[in-house]
Amino acid sequence: MPATLALNHFGLISTALQQADASSDFSDLGLQLLGGFALAVVVAVAYTLLKLRWRDKRPPAEFISINSSKDES
């Protein structure tokens, strides 16, 4: 029974994809969307790498507490 249901859904999806109208006026929006996503990923990775390099070159300042005046080690 589950296999039949799965095949039925597969058949419905394949039929819907075959009936796509070629006259729709979307031109190259799909390519623009894919290109925009790829550009966003490249920018995010580059930003992350630059932030990590900057953090390694400038380590964070030593922790300063307002409660203790000196270390008693």
In this prediction the pTM is: 0.46
**How do residues 51-71 score in pLDDT, each as one tens digit?**
999 888 887 778 777 876 665
The residue type of 4 is T
pLDDT of residue 42: 95
- Give the pLDDT confidence of 13-44 residue by residue, as tens digits: 766 666 555 555 566 888 888 889 999 999 99
DSSP 28: T
Is residue 48 predicted with pLDDT exceeding 80?
yes
Distance of alpha carbon 15 from alpha carbon 23, whole angstroms: 18
